Amino acid sequence: MAWNGINISGTSMIRRIFVMAMVGVYSWVVLVATNVKVVTSSTGTGTSSGITADITSPSNTKLTLSATLTGSSGTSAGARDDKSDSDSPTVSLITSFWAQSPDEEASLHRKEIQAALLSNIHNPHLDQVVVILDGSSTDGNCSHFQESMDTLQTGFTSRWSLGHRNSTQDKLTCVDRPLGQPNYYEMFSYATDPTIVTSDIVILSNADQAFDDSAQQAKRIRPNTVLTLATWGYNRTSVPTQVQKYYKYIHSGTSRKAKKVANKIVANRCSESTTQTSWDGYVFYRQLIQGKLASQDFMRHFKTNTTSGKAFFKMNESGGENAGLWALLAHVPSARDANGCSLIRTWHFHGAKKMRAHNVDEAYWDNPETPSRVPQPYRRAKYPLPDVLLGSTEQ
């Protein structure tokens, strides 16, 4: 079955089925599967690493992620099927992750990220978890990723004698991306695309962040509010049990290295003593920024020994979050922003060595004092969180 820009194919096997529900010929609504491969085609050109990636649409203004259905008919569920039974908004988490062949040995940090993803999939306050799988190919794609998540799920539920389903696919949506790591503009574009994200409220976050029950507080934000989320880090004396057990499972080996990593303290960026200039996630209503983003706002000047120009910045670059918030709100003058980490807690599964280091391929930002930092303009989220940006606690 094919969409313009998105192709979806399923594998029919024992215990591996997929169900699609649609209305008419223009909307993709529900995708519930055990093994699904989703392939996203690019609308531009680019390289897979470094700041020289340049992904633009034919109009050079906006990345288009919409899809045109050419398949069969069915039943619509642009939001969840039970949406009519409740006025409570739904919440989707979206992040990016790198593809890997099943023949490759997973690094310890990759396992940490998958543990964070599994924790979020099991979080009852998150209705959908979307993974943009970059660098996908025939050797490593969403099908392989789904299998690895199901394997992790089986081992985890067996270890803790839990009654979770054998598959994670009821909440997980994986989007194959043949190109490299998506930039900030692309991630916000994915996050506001209703053919990918089905909820009212979006949490855009780094992949190694695990949410606890405070994720339900995302439903309290007002429609004109954008929250940033500084991480609470990781300290086994403070992480809630329902989140910590996923991290413990990954580091349950008896090796000295595993024990050392499991006991490592990751810095809390949400303490009141910090300046709140760094964060790992955003929370907003999808419709607040849908159709209002401008690609040029997510680009900064760079230069090398032989050339210069403009390039998109990514989520794992120094200063990227400050530049990203400025670009996000540049054309949404009615929006109000604040750091909401005191309301919504995220825990950083990152005791192991970082695997996807910043790589600029001998290019650097045109920022004389700190060439590794994304240049201004910036925006720093307000802290503490004003109560006026929140609605009722009753949902």
Q: What is residue 260's predicted lDDT score, i.e. its pLDDT?
A: 78
Dist CA 393 CA 217 (whole Å): 8
State the Cα–Cα distance between residues 131 and 297, nearest whole angstrom. Answer: 24
Q: Tell me the average pLDDT across 286-292.
A: 95
Mean pLDDT of all residues in 119-140: 97
d(CA 74, CA 71): 10
The residue among 1 and 14 whose pLDDT is bigger is 1
- Compute the average pLDDT of residues 112-120: 96
Q: What is the pLDDT of residues 203-223, one digit of tens each?
A: 999 999 999 999 999 999 999
Is the pLDDT at 114 greater than 60, yes or no? yes
Q: Which residue has the higher pLDDT, 367 or 288?
A: 288
The dihedrals phi and psi of 185, each to the nearest 5 degrees, come to: -60, -45
For the beta carbon of residue 306, count every other beta carbon within 10 angstroms: 7
DSSP strand pairing (18-23 vs 27-33): antiparallel
DSSP 268-304: -S-STTS-----SEEEEEHHHHTTT--GGGGEEEEE-
Burial of 74 per CB tally in 10 Å (0-12, 13-18, 19+): middle
Query: Looking at 198-207, 278-287, 358-367, which range is the least confident one?
Result: 358-367
Residue 285 near residue 203 (C-beta atoms within 8 A)? no
Percent of the chain with pLDDT strictly greater than 90: 54
Query: Higher model confidence: residue 362 or residue 377?
Result: 377
Q: Where are the alpha helices (DSSP H) in the chain?
A: 108-121, 142-160, 184-191, 241-250, 256-262, 286-289, 320-329
Question: For the CA atoms of 167, 169, 171, 176, what is the dihedral angle to 10 degrees?
Answer: 140
Contact by Cβ (8 Å): 300, 311: yes
CA angle 345, 128, 158 (to 5 degrees): 80
Q: How far apart are CA 51 and CA 315, in angstroms?
A: 11
More confident position, 372 or 90: 90
Ramachandran quadrant class, 50 (left: phi over 0; alpha: psi -120 to 50; beta: rest):
left
Q: Spell out the domain ranges in the chain.
A: 87-389
Q: pLDDT band for 121, please (50, 70, 90 cuts).
A: very high
Residues 10-40 pLDDT 10s:
333 333 333 233 333 323 322 333 333 343 3
The predicted pLDDT at position 323 comes to 95
**What's residue 182's pLDDT?**
97
Mean pLDDT (the chain, rounded)? 77
When pLDDT is averaged across residues 159-164 and rounded to a whole number, the result is 62
By the 8 A CB rule, do 35 and 149 touch?
no
The torsion angles phi and psi of 312, rounded to 5 degrees, stand at -75, 150
Note the CATH number of domain 87-389. 3.90.550
Quick one: average pLDDT of 288-293?
A: 95
Q: pLDDT confidence of 192, banded at 50, 70, 90?
A: very high
CB atoms within 10 A of CB 137: 11
pLDDT for residue 257:
72
DSSP β-ladder status, 281-285 and 201-205: antiparallel
Q: For residue range 294-342, list pLDDT tens digits in order.
A: 999 999 999 887 888 999 999 989 999 999 999 999 999 899 999 999 9
DSSP code of residue 266: B
pLDDT digits 0-9 by tens, 51-70? 333 333 333 333 333 332 22
- Residue 75 confidence (pLDDT) above 70: no
Q: Show the tokens assigned to 77.
A: 């569920």
Q: Tokens 């340049």 appear where?
A: 54
With contact defined as beta carbons under 8 Å apart, do 37 and 141 qualify?
yes
Find where tokens 């079955």 sit: 1
